[in-house]
Amino acid sequence: MAAQSVIAVDLGATSGRVVLGTLAGGRIDLTEVHRFSTAARQTDDGLRLDVAGLFAEIQTGIGLAMAAATAPVVSLGIDCWAVDYGLLGDDGLLEQPFNYRDPRTEHGRALVRERISEAELYSRVGLQDVPFNTVNQLADDLAAGRLDRARRFLLLPDLLASWLTGLEVAERTNASTTALLDPLTGQWDWELVDRLGLPRRIFPEVVEPGTLLGTITEGPAAGVPLVAVGTHDTASAVVGAPLADDDVFISSGTWSLVGMELDAPILTEQSRAADLTNEGGVDGTVRYLKNVMGLWILSEAVRHWAAEGRDLSVPELVAAARTVRDAPHFDAMHPSLLPPGDMVSRVKALAGGDARLDDPAVFTRALIESLADAYADVIAEISAITGRSPRRIVVVGGGSHNTLLCQRAADRTGLPVSAGPVEATALGNCLIQARAVGLLAGSLTDLRRTVMASTTVTQYLPRPEKELAAITALSNEFGANPAFAR
Ligand code: LRH
């Protein structure tokens, strides 16, 4: 088949990308044509998203992709971080959307709790009780009267798709992060919606990932079909993760999403107690996972150091962290690390005020060690609850380039790590488009074969912890640097 191209719009919590994916000879090649900031802005009215600005950047990127394409562009798809949404009135967007890191979510959570217990909510929707779930944000909107004039609520990728096509839907993988979707039927839980007092009229029709939604009518891609991909970025990332049976995935970027792909949700009390979440995946799969705070802690610290005039880059910090012999550990899932701000102070507070954390190299090492601890804990919980014995960890996303984190994840869990592809989300986005328009066929396993044919992965073997500790102790005794050869 002659080469054909698709365009993936992939919005991550710190940056957005427009990527041209070209399929030929059983491979897919990606070219990033545009990158821009997606960071939320602190305003007098909370942490807000300039979604009209994002749309303008997306249209710029689409124009660049159309110009760069040497093969026909046959479709476009959008994925984005979960849970955030815009409210539409009769004349368009009512206000700039809030970002989920705004503390208003705690108020919303308390309001939801007045109407439904945590246990009942979990048994209905299967989501980890985190403040930023859409349900809590909508409850806050309802109380503030912000839903009075709302005609629709659209999750961000659906909102952007509606601006391109005029069509208003809720793609199921992302809708599953609202805590308002029944994971067994894949439809809104209307009884829950009513109990919470949310107006039914604002809920759009749910569509399956992989639906050919319609034709783009606005901007440089006018005439190109739009596919509702796995619009939740993590859904696309897991499609692009070359998983085999019994593999654990870690989608590693702003968050570290640690989990397994299952056939059905687990809605038991044991699962709720472990705070594990059931997110809807492509082809009826379930991403059974936990949100670990992730490299956001480091990117926020870097931003903070920059404000103090210290210009530090993540690769430099990771290189320096490699030579740190002993660093404190802390709870990398602690809720105090969710909002933007001074991560060094917060991490110090979690680590008993340890002043060594003022050193950026120690801070970085502490984060990496603490993330590896969290991965090991989550994998043990998932294994106990599912009865599965994970054989390997597949790390995808930006964190797959963090060699120290990958090695320490292998060491702490005792599992081999396959790291890559770094661009799993854009790949997953492109693959679901390609299947929807008939360029590819088959199951997720078949699509993942295309991933494996198109990228390389790096393998890390676990080093025995006991021997590792002995070597480190010996090196410490002689004041030597226990950096290990790779
Ligand atoms: C990662 C992500 C994650 C959600 C969070 C809100 O970008 O989509 O899966 O839990 O953002």
Beta-carbon contacts of residue 176 (< 8 Å; ≥ 6 apart): 127, 183, 232, 278, 279, 280
Which pLDDT score is estimated for 473?
Answer: 74
Cα torsion angle, 103, 340, 423, 55, sign: positive
Q: Could you give the CA distance from residue 428 to residue 103 in angstroms, rounded to a whole number?
A: 32
What is the distance in A from the centroid of ligand 1 to the CA of 175?
A: 12
Point out the ligand 1 atom lying closest to the alpha carbon of residue 232. 8
For atom 7 of ligand 1, which residue has the closest CA? 81
For atom 9 of ligand 1, which residue has the closest CA? 234
Q: Could you give the CA distance from residue 2 to residue 341 in angstroms, rounded to a whole number?
A: 50
Q: Could you give the CA distance from residue 167 to residue 240 in angstroms, rounded to a whole number?
A: 27
Ligand 1 in reach of 173 Cβ (< 6 A): no
For atom 4 of ligand 1, which residue has the closest CA? 82
Which pLDDT score is estimated for 1?
Answer: 78
Q: Could you give the CA distance from residue 258 to residue 99 in angstroms, rounded to a whole number?
A: 23
**3-class DSSP state of 21:** strand
Which pLDDT score is estimated for 483?
Answer: 65
Point out the ligand 1 atom lying closest to the alpha carbon of residue 132. 6
Instruction: With a cut of 70, say whether residue 47 has pLDDT above it.
Output: yes
CB distance 76 to 24 below 8 Å: no
Ligand 1 in reach of 100 Cβ (< 6 A): yes
Ligand 1 in reach of 81 Cβ (< 6 A): yes
35-56 mean pLDDT: 97
CB distance 169 to 158 below 8 Å: yes
Q: Between the CA atoms of 408, 411, 417 and 419, what dihedral angle is there, to the nearest 10 degrees?
A: 10
Split at pLDDT 50, 70, 90, the class of 304 is very high
Residue to mutate (ligand 1; options 129, 255, 333; most atoms within 8 A of CB): 255
324-335 mean pLDDT: 95
- Residue 381 CA, distance from chain mean position: 20
CB distance 233 to 240 below 8 Å: no
Q: ∠ at Cα 231 (15, 157), nearest 5°?
A: 65
Ligand 1 in reach of 233 Cβ (< 6 A): yes
- For the chain, the first-to-last Cα distance in angstroms comes to 41
Which pLDDT score is estimated for 465?
Answer: 74
Which pLDDT score is estimated for 480?
Answer: 66
ipTM confidence score = 0.98
71-92 mean pLDDT: 98
Q: What is the pLDDT of residues 103-157, one digit of tens each?
A: 999 999 999 999 999 999 999 999 999 999 999 999 999 999 999 999 999 999 9
pTM value is 0.96
DSSP 254: S
Point out the ligand 1 atom lying closest to the alpha carbon of residue 234. 9
Beta-carbon contacts of residue 347 (< 8 Å; ≥ 6 apart): 297, 330, 337, 357, 363, 366, 367
CB distance 245 to 254 below 8 Å: no
Ligand 1 in reach of 257 Cβ (< 6 A): yes
156-184 mean pLDDT: 98
- Secondary structure of the chain: what % helix, strand, coil (to 5)? 40, 20, 35
Give me the residues paired with residue 22 across strands.
5, 29
Q: Could you give the CA distance from residue 95 to residue 146 in angstroms, rounded to a whole number?
A: 9
**3-class DSSP state of 302:** helix
Give me the residues paired with residue 92 across strands.
89
What is the distance in A from the centroid of ligand 1 to the CA of 344?
A: 23
Point out the ligand 1 atom lying closest to the alpha carbon of residue 100. 6
Kindly report the average pLDDT of the chain as a whole number.
96
Q: How many CB atoms lie within 10 A of CB 184?
A: 13
Ligand 1 in reach of 234 Cβ (< 6 A): yes
Ligand 1 in reach of 10 Cβ (< 6 A): no
Catalytic positions, written as ranges: 233
